[in-house]
Structure 1
Amino acid sequence: MMDRLVADRDTLVAVRGVRPGGDDAAESIARAAWSVLAEPGDTVAGALIEALGAVEALTLALGTSVPRTGAAVGSELAARALSEARARWRPRARPGDVRDALCRARDADARLILPGDECWPTAVDDLGPGRPSALWVRGDPELLVRTPRVAIVGARAATGYGEHVAAELAGDLAATGAVIVSGGAYGIDGAAHRAALGVEGATVAFLAGGVDRAYPAGHQRLLQRIADEGALVSEPPCGTAPTKWRFLARNRLIAALGHATVVVEAGWRSGSLNTAGHAATLGRPLGAVPGPVTSATSAGCHRLLREYDAQCVTSSAEVRELWGQSVAAPEDGAHDPDRVRLLDALSTRSRRTVDDLARRSGLATDRVLSLLGLLGLEQVVDVDEAGWRRVPTPAPR
């Protein structure tokens, strides 16, 4: 394919973000071609690329010779596996499809991110041969390497309780510097993305199809906003339709990118449990939000807590503890239990009235006003006509 694929140099420059030299151009084209040829998570393709490099692996993949086991490609890649893989790849080995993918990316203002780039998320390398050969990004690719990153996932058919909790967690975390990672779906995913954007925080959505295809269609405006203010990311190239398999495959990237994964609501057989399983396999901290024992949409979370050693999380502070960012020790005078209760009642995302804070904290209104005055002097809280909120503080990098 390499000798038949002639990519327009301006197109290649547009999707790579830099003017590639000879070797980089060949590598870019080869990895773009691999994203067309192989389905996400194809471990045969991954092992071949790891052993030979993307360019030579592409030549071998589309050739006729079959290397002996234990030769250059390594003992784990048997001749039979390669032969079967070639049968999968060859129907897609059309240079025009690779050119179309690059042109679609250029038209969608998408970038092609490769291993070794400054914005390549090395966290996904933990997937081994199942790691992506490249990533297509609309938006800010720097968010893929900004820290900390937390994956918040859950049911599409979420309840009001679940969406509320997801929004509270995502909003508080994003307001203090965390990147919210999710899948752009209805329900919990959408609530998490919206909350992050609502506090002018950072969010990344992994899509099962190309980054130029808004799916689900009802999230077209949300996904466009994420592309404008955050990042849309996909493993398949532009123009690719989402499929059930690709949804499951993209879950491993969500789990790999997050320093921790939190499942807010999930049914007994929810796809979110697939993401949780990847997180557990990768050794990423896993949290689950409990719900009513009578709620089918929380049955999966309770299963994670009981069977998969997930940590019970009920606040953004507990989510931070998953990746080791424990709450700082209180300063002198900050041990006042009334102060702690009031701080717990405050939100970094929603403004609350004095009466609401008194109800949430269980403190008298006069006591709330007195403490708010002190916290205001310390610039821990601020106020406007809508009420009081806790001032977000940047997370340590």
Structure 2
Amino acid sequence: MTARPDGPDRETLARATLTFCLDGADALMYALIKGAGRASLALELLVDSRQGSPGAGAAANRLNQTFASGLSRWGRKVNAQAMAVFRRAADGWRARLDALPTRRWEGLAPWFTMDGAQWIIAPHTPYWPAQLQDLSTRRDWAAPLCLWGVGDATSLTGCDAPLAVVGSRGATDYGRAVAREVAARAAAAGHLIVSGGAMGADAAAHWGALSAGGDGRTVAVFAGGLNHIGPQSNRRLFDTIVDRGGALVSELCPGTIPEGRRFLLRNRIIAALGAQIVVAQARTRSGALNTAGWGCDLNRMVIAVPGDITMPHNAGCNRLIADAKATILTSVEEIDELVHAPHPPRADDDGPKDADAPDGTDDATGGDAARDDAVASAIRSCMHRRLPATPDAILARCNARDPSHPMTMPQLLARLGAMEADGLIRGGDGVVALAAPPGPGSDGR
């Protein structure tokens, strides 16, 4: 049975209204909400500060103070330039408010949900995929304020470490076949498959996940409002995704046209949702490489499929591998080693895990020895693939193998220091190596 969130609560509706004010992801709005503590207060300040409203001047001053507070809490510098940029942005947001069908935003739920045809979730709601908050780690990035969706909302949280599979729209038979087979294999193991709903490799990945039967769930992320999803040639695919327990999602309001620049912003959501990102095939300039770039910046494991060096369709993936920005996928079966353990999709009544909950004590994870083993295994994985074993690469591999007990960078650095003191590893120039050759049979070249 498809799980749908209840109608949007006041906070979610406020986030939807603020999204309507934006032209895309906006770090300034993220800072304002962070300062206000809740989106509904930020929206009230914006409404009250409109010219001609009673007490508009006082509300504008409080709005500015709230933004400055949020910027500071976010660890950003508050200066005259930042405040001037914010004031210009706020003028634009207030102008957008006038385009709403009514100034009483609390009554806009039917309008924002297309009379219930779509649902909306926000960070405080149980279906929210917590990994999206990684998009707020830099001052020029912003996580979505909310997500619109059609289909089963539990698909977004039914897998702790989804696999994103992307590639060029003009993928060859080879690229489409790899995308489909990788997605089908991972989905059969219970992993959620995330892609962009486009023709070519994206569609092949979605169909691959659906071919896995009852365990095959997939989510398509779109660059416009969900009443503008496309291409139309994939309409049967979109209907099947919904019918099979997956979802179609977007960070943009109904009615938003999917312009070119919005596809690049959409790609950051695909990258953030995935614990690993497989690039099945890509030219040197493609949206798939943009998604891979987001993945690298988010410390996701990027996996690239090599191809014939005489074919421009493969040049992007081959370059990712040559530049040590991606792990090479040498066979479809190898995906089993790069994702977390097989699992059934989480049942509806299990509920998503709380991203802010403690990730367990040393006893729960097996202690320092278990973490040392995981770190050593990650170093061997890098060596085997002839990739530099940097802390970022080690962390990505450790967390890909055990996403239920993720290690943070401070924890990893502490373990690396202890392992170096014990003579287990050696380091230099930001790269780590095992102090002794791997044992027989480990193939740790």
Task: Report TM bin, short chain.
Answer: 0.7 to 0.9
Tell me, yes or no, if structure 1 residue 86 matches structure 2 residue 90: yes
Q: What is aligned with 1:8?
A: none
- Give the distance between the partners of 2:209 and 2:339, measured in 1 at CA: 19
Give the C-alpha shift of residue 321 in structure 1.
2.8
Secondary structure at the aligned position of 1:212 is classed as helix
Q: What is aligned with 1:40?
A: 24
Give the C-alpha shift of residue 100 in structure 1.
6.7
Tell me, yes or no, if structure 1 residue 18 matches structure 2 residue 33: no
Contact in 2 for aligned 1:111/1:136 (Cα 8 Å): yes
**For the structure 1 residues 41 and 47, does the alpha-carbon distance in structure 2 shift closer, same or farther, using more than 3 Å as the test?**
same
- Give the distance between the partners of 1:259 and 1:277, measured in 2 at CA: 14
Q: What is aligned with 1:179?
A: 192
**For the structure 1 residues 282 and 102, does the alpha-carbon distance in structure 2 shift closer, same or farther, using more than 3 Å as the test?**
farther
Tell me, yes or no, if structure 1 residue 213 matches structure 2 residue 225: no
Q: What is aligned with 1:73?
A: 70
Tell me, yes or no, if structure 1 residue 153 matches structure 2 residue 138: no
**For the structure 1 residues 34 and 273, does the alpha-carbon distance in structure 2 shift closer, same or farther, using more than 3 Å as the test?**
same
Q: How does 1:1-397 map to 2 (within 5 A)?
A: 17-18=5-6, 25-52=9-36, 53-62=38-47, 63=49, 65-66=60-61, 67=64, 71-75=68-72, 76=76, 78-93=82-97, 94-96=99-101, 102-103=110-111, 105-107=113-115, 109-128=117-136, 130-147=142-159, 148-200=161-213, 201-229=216-244, 230-325=246-341
- Give the distance between the partners of 1:323 and 1:284, measured in 2 at CA: 12
**One-letter amino acid of the structure 1 residue matched with residue 100 of structure 2:** P
Contact in 1 for aligned 2:178/2:280 (Cα 8 Å): yes
**One-letter amino acid of the structure 1 residue matched with residue 231 of structure 2:** P
Contact in 1 for aligned 2:307/2:314 (Cα 8 Å): yes
Give the C-alpha shift of residue 70 in structure 1.
8.4
Give the C-alpha shift of residue 29 in structure 1.
2.0
- Give the distance between the partners of 1:246 and 1:101, measured in 2 at CA: 24
- Give the distance between the partners of 1:54 and 1:279, measured in 2 at CA: 28
1:206-229 residue CA offsets vs partner (Å, 9 max, x unmatched): 001112223112212211222222
Contact in 1 for aligned 2:122/2:147 (Cα 8 Å): yes
Contact in 2 for aligned 1:139/1:232 (Cα 8 Å): yes
Secondary structure at the aligned position of 2:218 is classed as strand
**One-letter amino acid of the structure 2 residue matched with residue 46 of structure 1:** Y
Report the TM-score when normalising by structure 2.
0.65
Q: What is aligned with 1:386?
A: none
Give ranges in structure 1 of 5+ residues lacking alignment: 1-14, 327-394
Identical counterparts, % of pairs = 41
Q: What is aligned with 1:376?
A: none
- Give the distance between the partners of 1:226 and 1:100, measured in 2 at CA: 28
Contact in 1 for aligned 2:176/2:204 (Cα 8 Å): yes
**For the structure 1 residues 268 and 165, does the alpha-carbon distance in structure 2 shift closer, same or farther, using more than 3 Å as the test?**
same
- Give the distance between the partners of 1:265 and 1:209, measured in 2 at CA: 24
Contact in 2 for aligned 1:101/1:238 (Cα 8 Å): no
1:321-350 residue CA offsets vs partner (Å, 9 max, x unmatched): 334549xxxxxxxxxxxxxxxxxxxxxxxx
Secondary structure at the aligned position of 1:116 is classed as coil
Q: What is aligned with 1:338?
A: none
Q: What is aligned with 2:394?
A: none
- Give the distance between the partners of 1:38 and 1:244, measured in 2 at CA: 16
Secondary structure at the aligned position of 1:280 is classed as helix
- Give the distance between the partners of 2:22 and 2:229, measured in 1 at CA: 22
**One-letter amino acid of the structure 1 residue matched with residue 229 of structure 2:** A
- Give the distance between the partners of 2:67 and 2:124, measured in 1 at CA: 27
- Give the distance between the partners of 2:7 and 2:25, measured in 1 at CA: 29
Secondary structure at the aligned position of 1:205 is classed as strand
- Give the distance between the partners of 1:184 and 1:19, measured in 2 at CA: 26
Q: What is aligned with 2:414?
A: none
